[in-house]
Structure 1
Amino acid sequence: MKQLIKRELIALWHDPWQLALVSYIPLVGIFGLWWLFSAGLPRQLPVAIVDQDQSQISRMLVRQLQANSVISPIHYQDINQAKDSMERAKTYALVVLPFQLNRDLLTGHQPTIDIRYNSQYLLVGKLLSSQIQLSLADGLRHKALLKQLAAGVPMAQAEVNLNLVKTQVSALYNANSNYVVFLLPPILLALGQLLAMLVFANSLNRELRLNTLQEWFSLGTRRVLWAKILVYTPLIVLQGRLILTLLYQYLGLPLAGTFGQLLLAQIVMLLAVWLLVLTIFFLLQDPARVISFCTALFAPAFPFMGITFPTQEMPQLAQWWRVLMPSSHYIDTHVGVVSYGQGFAVFAQQVTSYAGFLVLIPVIVLLARRVKQANMSQAGGQPSTEAP
């Protein structure tokens, strides 16, 4: 086994692309994504404002919007220009203050303030929708209070009339609504899974590119595969440990559990990734097709985690696809450890969700035998009866 591990390490050293995948490319990806989300919460998002009333109250509402750190108002004279700015992604939302807004409020009518946002930007749209409504509500509440006081309603009663129900929203595991806490861990996980797939697929494809399958089979298929797993699993786990260190030690994100469970969960996830890649490799036997198929399979990992979109609302085909994604099984453990500090008994129960990947082992054995026999036949030799 030592000679086989040495063989794999020598091949790694002489493959610049593979060496980059296990060294500096993950670092560039990790720190690049951290830099993108380092602000924590979006600020000064452009919002189109169309003030058709040009009254004192409409200007006050615009000032209320401008006072919100999330919103950066951009004035438009024409509503069609404002719509065009949204379509061109120059602005993410649109607020139309209607004509005779001030008069309708003073006469007891209910004017309609048109608020639109681009829901294609899921998180940005949701954030702007809530912040715009909060800012406008604060401004209109002040106007309503003055109106009641002018009608002779006592201050205490007027405040009760305006605040019949008070609500307080407290985020249990993300008190500051920090996007780093919310988005960065699953995005880094999706990136790490994709890199792990590329690393292992490249190691297997090298045997095809260099035409060393015959050497592989003569050394023993299982022993060569174990050598690859023993070389690349610690390297990928080290990358995962670096991600955890960056998030929960350097950045100080809240961590209720321990690193141990997360690292064990990452190892189990990697073994599932290896099984999927091996199945695709022995099935397709073409470097370009193996990489293309694996990339298509693993690329949608982030939306399938259920962090930004409830997976139970996805079509049935998408839910089946999600089950094939090892990261979708890992994220339950990650959330449980990070947010709830779950115990090892719950972790052991979650690991059983990977049981379906064990079905791939006999499939891999059968495919490997078929490839071995085909390779021996092309070489003019006799196929061996030894199990791969």
Structure 2
Amino acid sequence: MKQLIKRELHALWHDPWQLALVSYIPLVGIFGLWWLFSAGLPRQLPVAIVDQDQSQISRMLVRQLTASSVITPIHYQDINSAKASMEKAETYAMVVLPFQLNRDLLTGHQPSIDIRYNSQYLLVGKLLSSQIQLSLADGLKSKALIKQLAAGVPMAQAEVNLNLVKTQISALYNANSNYVVFLLPPVLIALGQLLAMLVFANSLNRELRLSTLQEWFSLGTRRVLWAKILVYTPLIVLQGRLILTLLYQYLGLPLAGEFGQLLLAQIVMLLAVWLLVLTIFFLLQDSARVVSFCTALFAPAFPFMGITFPTQDMPQLAQWWRLLMPSSHYIDTHVGVVSYGQSFATFIQQVVSYWGYLLLIPLIVFLARRVKRTTNPITVQPSSSEAS
């Protein structure tokens, strides 16, 4: 086994692309994503404003929107130009203050303020929708208070009328609504899984590229595979440890549980990734097709984690696809450890969810034997006349 590990390390050292995948490329990806999310919260997002009323109250509502750190109002003369700005991604939302807004409020009517946002930008759209509604509600509440006071309603009663039910929403595990806490960990997990797939696929494809499959089988299929696993698993786990260190020690993100469970969960996830890549490798037996198929399989890992979109609302095919990806199983452990400080018994129950990947082992054995039969050279025995 020691010679096989040396064989794998020698191949790694003489493969610049493989060496890059286990060294500086993950570092660039990790710190690049951290820099993108380092602001924590989107601020000063452009919002199209169409003020058809041009009244004192409409200008007051625009000032309310301007006071929000999330919103930067941009004025447009008509709805069509505001819509065009959203289509060009110059603005992310639109607010239309209707004609005679002030008169309708004073006469007891209920005017409609048109609020639209670009739902393609899922998180940005939701953030703007809530911030716009809160800002407009604060502005209209002051107007309603003045109207009730003018009608002779006592101040105390007027405040009760405006706040019949008070609500308070408190985020338990992300009190500041910080996008670093919310988005960066699953994005890095998805990136790490993709890099792990590429590393192992390249290690297997090298045997095809250099025509060393016959040497591989002569050395022992299982022994060579174990050597690859023993070389690359610690390297990828080290990358995962770097991600956890950056998130929960350097950045100081909240962590309710222990690192140990997360590291064990990463190892189990990697073993599941190795099984999937092995199955695809022995099935396709073509370097380009193996990488392409694996990339297509693992690329949607982030949306399938259920962090930004509820997976139970996905089509059935998408839910089956989600179950194929090890990161979808890992994220349950990650959230449980980080947010809830779950027990080790719960962790064991989550590890059991990987049982389906064990069904790939007999399939891999069958495919490897088939490849071995087609790879071994055919020895032709000489006939009796040729021997004489």
Q: TM-score range by the shorter chain?
A: over 0.9
> In the aligned structure 1, how far is the partner of 2:39 from the partner of 2:125?
18
Structure 1, unmatched stretches of 5+, are: 383-388
Counterpart CA distance in 2 for 1:7 and 1:381 is: 28
What code does the residue aligned with 1:46 have? P
Q: How far is the alpha carbon of 1:24 from its aligned partner?
A: 0.3
Deviations 1:116-171 (A, max 9, x none): 00011100000000000000000000000011111111100000000000000000
Deviation at 1:380, TM superposition (A): 2.4
What corresponds to 2:340 in structure 1?
340
Percent sequence identity is 90
CA distance in 2, matches of 1:114, 1:347: 48
Q: What does residue 307 of structure 1 align with? A: 307
SS at match of 1:27: helix
Q: How many residues in Structure 1 have an aligned counterpart in Structure 2?
A: 380
Amino acid at match of 1:374: T
The Cα shift of 1:381 comes to 4.0
Residue 109 (1) aligns with residue 83 (2): no
DSSP-derived class of the 1:159 partner: helix
Query: Runs (4+) of structure 1 moved beyond 2 Å?
Result: 379-382
**What residue is the counterpart of 2:378 in the other structure?**
380
Residue 78 of structure 1 deviates from its aligned partner by 1.2
Residues 316-359 of structure 1, C-alpha deviations (whole Å, 9 max, x = no match): 11110011000000000000000000010000010000000000
Residue 211 in 1 paired to residue 211 in 2? yes
Partner of 1:386: none
CA distance in 2, matches of 1:140, 1:262: 48
Measured against aligned partners, the alpha-carbon deviations of 1:204-237 in whole angstroms (never above 9, x if no partner) come to 0000000001111111110000000000000000
Q: In the TM superposition, what whole-angstrom CA distance separates every residue of 1:161-207 from its partner, at most 9, and x where no partner exists?
A: 00000000000000000000000000000000000000000000000
Match of residue 237 from structure 1 = 237
What is the match of residue 28 of structure 2? 28
Cα distance, 1:8 vs. partner? 0.3
Give, in whole Å, the separation in 2 of the partners of 1:122 and 1:161.
35
- Structure 1 counterpart of 2:55: 55
CA distance in 1, matches of 2:182, 2:192: 17
Letter in 2 for 1:380: I
Letter in 2 for 1:69: S
What does residue 141 of structure 1 align with?
A: 141
Calculate the TM-score normalised by the size of structure 2.
Answer: 0.97
Letter in 1 for 2:184: L
Normalised to the residue count of structure 1, the TM-score between the two structures is 0.97
SS at 1:371 equivalent: helix
The answer for the alignment partner of 1:162 in structure 2 is 162
User: Cα RMSD between the aligned structures?
Assistant: 0.6
Query: Structure 1: how far apart are the matches of 2:347 and 2:244?
Result: 18
| Alignment partner, residue 188 of structure 1 | 188
5 Å matches for 1:359-374? 359-374=359-374
Return the alpha-carbon distance in structure 1 between the equivalents of residues 89 and 29 of structure 2: 26
